[in-house]
Amino acid sequence: MLKDGYTLMHEHIFIDLSGVKKLDDCRLDCKDETIEEFKELYKNGVRNITEVTNIGMGRDINYIREVSKKSGINVICATGFYKEPFYPEFVYEKNEKALSEIMKKEILEGIDETGTKAGIIGEIGSSKDKITETELKVFKSAIITHLETGIPITTHTSLGTMGHEQVKLFKEYKVNLDKIVIGHVDLSGNTEYILKMLYDGVYVEFDTIGKNNYLLDDIRVEMLKEIEKRELIDRVFLSMDITRKSNMKYSGGIGYNYIFEVFLPKLREAGIKESSIEKMLKTNPENFYK
């Protein structure tokens, strides 16, 4: 399923949260500029992107396909529902089973008549410091879908919170934790908190790299050093979660290539092993999708 090369595990190519957020910047719709940045990603060795935009986030498969085709980067598309308040109205009306049927159709038959099948369930999210009743229902529908299809699940935590509760839920349903990644854990800024999930056996994502206004990259580097020391780096993914026009290079943002231009040099400078970088960007995603 993956092409031989690096994989960024939590990105958006087209996403539109501008309605709920009432901010035009949250409509990432700069296709030409995205293609340019993706060609650069290709030069940096990236061959796969996990695109975690799902139903209710403005997912646009034809847009994604064009970017993929013009850049040469393989894209894994997602199914599922994000979190409150971004759910389509029907999420409140349908039960777990019915929501799971929608996801299953996208996995087995394809998304929106495009023929493109979803390769991952996510990003399935919880709110800050709580999992609301409807979010819990969506998590359960994602679990049902996973148990029936074997497709992996990627989650969203709000500022890193509720990660332990998410893991607990997956364990309750006896989900194979080799197929679960907990997202945005770096934003917790708390190494012990992340280690607990790693010892439980899930994958975790440092997927907000470069968002220094939320958390300094220097802290991400320190946390990764500790995880490397504990020999748990084979359960970590790296990504940037670009979601806004202002995140893009053309508008003065850091751009999708920041990870290669700035962050990896920081890791090397801090003494993180080359083999660990290879694992986080290549081997670990390969094992996850096996």
- Which residues contribute to the site for Zn ion (CB under 5 A)? 123, 156
* CA–CA distance, 34 with 287 (Å, rounded to integer): 28
Quick one: 123 or 200, whose CB is closer to Zn ion? 123
CB neighbourhood size of 134 (10 A) = 15
CB closer to Zn ion out of 35 and 59: 59
Nearer to Zn ion, 28 or 35 (CB): 28
End-to-end CA distance of the chain: 8
In the complex, what is the shortest distance from the CB of residue 211 to Zn ion, in angstroms, rounded to a whole number?
Answer: 11
Nearer to Zn ion, 100 or 155 (CB): 155
Report the nearest approach of Zn ion to the CB of residue 112 (Å). 22
Backbone angles phi, psi at 237, to 5 degrees: -115, 155
Residue reference for tokens 């960024």: 8
Report DSSP letters for 40-102, one per residue.
Answer: HHHHTTEEEEEE---BTTT--HHHHHHHHHHHT-EEE-EESB--TTS--THHHHS-HHHHHHH
Nearest residue (CB) to Zn ion, 129 versus 278:
129
CB of 281 to Zn ion, least distance (A): 19
Q: Which is nearer to Zn ion, 116 or 157 (CB)?
A: 157
Concatenated DSSP letters of 22-57:
T-GGGEE--HHHHHHHHHHHHHTTEEEEEE---BTT
Query: Which of 212, 269, 256, 102 shows the shortest CA–CA distance to 220?
Result: 212
- Using CB positions, name the residue nearest to Zn ion: 156
Q: Which is nearer to Zn ion, 15 or 107 (CB)?
A: 15
- Shortest spacing between CB 126 and Zn ion, in angstroms: 10
CB count, 10 Å around CB of 112? 12
Unique residue bearing structure tokens 């790299």: 209
Spatial separation of the C-alpha atoms in residues 201 and 220, rounded to whole Å:
20
Tell me the C-alpha distance between 234 and 4, whole Å: 18
CB of 123 closer than 8 Å to CB of 82? yes
- Smallest distance from the beta carbon of 184 to Zn ion, in angstroms? 6
- Return the number of other C-beta atoms located less than 10 Å from residue 25's C-beta: 14
Minimum gap (Å) between residue 216 Cβ and Zn ion = 19
CB of 32 to Zn ion, least distance (A): 25
| CB of 14 closer than 8 Å to CB of 28 | yes
Closest CB 35 distance from Zn ion, rounded Å: 23
215 versus 272: smaller Cβ distance to Zn ion? 215
